[in-house]
Amino acid sequence: MTVYNLGSINIDHVYRVAHLPRAGETMAADDYLRTLGGKGANQSVAALRAGARVVHVGAIGVSDGWTAAQLSALGIDLGSIARVEAPTGHAIIAVDPSGENSILIFPGANRAQDEGAIEAALSGAQAGDCLLLQNETSHQVAAAKAARAKHMRVFYSAAPFEIAALDAVLPHVTHLLVNAVEARELSRATGSALADLPVEAVIVTRGAEGAEWIEPGGETVAVPAVEVEPVDTTGAGDCFAGSLVAALDDGMTPDQALRYAAAAAAIQVTRPGTSAAMPDRGEVEALLATQAQGA
């Protein structure tokens, strides 16, 4: 099977700071790192390192050629990635000593996707394949419609959270991924319980409290988080999402996939950075084996 990802590609500018900036505050950073990220690229790398075959559909700016080399180094094939006149998307990320972050995103080339290119990338998809989406690109609805016409599973990360974007794509989504804050905003905006949404499952990540898989009617699978000392939580949700989809694509049950994704995210947050910090399958399985022995 194959995991397709209409995904954002960003240049991440990461600043280590004493505390997250307050309104009107000017402060000096203690350290700086430029790396490749974006929710889409992060999720693709996580899925790749979990063992999935991944086709990434995206766009980068023609003036940012180094990003192509970075994508290749991370294992992402460039065949479905367009070069456009818009600058590559970028993110300004502040990270405090506890690993918490604050992020400002400029979408850039991520909003310049092409529907024809998406259809071409999905031309080889089969029933049961997976499509990953996030709210950092254009043409989300078109991609989701095309995927469902092929009887693919569609996983949508509702971040950055915008109810209008979610309403538009939700009729074509099979699995919705949200964090705890997004889950509250979604319930407040729709007036509906998560179990009443028209999808096969809602997956909620709750940080140190673990994660849940909620099916219609209230059927819920919950797994605990893996306790670690975080260095940088940026990209943890992306690591979880990409790992989860890869695990499901590999035939794992929801419970097994949640545990795999939680372990992967636990490893990822102990490292600085985003895409480059994603763990490989061997590391995750070793951690899961250690947990099983200690149970």
Q: What is this structure's pTM?
A: 0.93
Contacts with 62 (C-beta within 8 Å, 6 or more apart), sequence order: 83, 84, 85
Q: What is the pLDDT of residues 72-126, one digit of tens each?
A: 988 999 999 999 999 999 999 999 999 899 999 999 999 999 999 999 999 999 9
Q: Could you list the active site residues?
A: 238
pLDDT tens-digit map of 132-183 = 999 999 999 999 999 999 999 999 999 999 999 999 999 999 999 999 999 9
User: For residue 215, which of 237, 243, 242, 196 has the smallest C-alpha distance?
Assistant: 196
d(CA 211, CA 261): 9
Q: Are strands 31-37 and 10-16 parallel, antiparallel or unpaired?
A: antiparallel
What pLDDT was estimated at residue 294? 64
Query: What pLDDT was estimated at residue 121?
Result: 97
Domains by residue range for the chain, with CATH: 2-20+30-286 (3.40.1190.20)
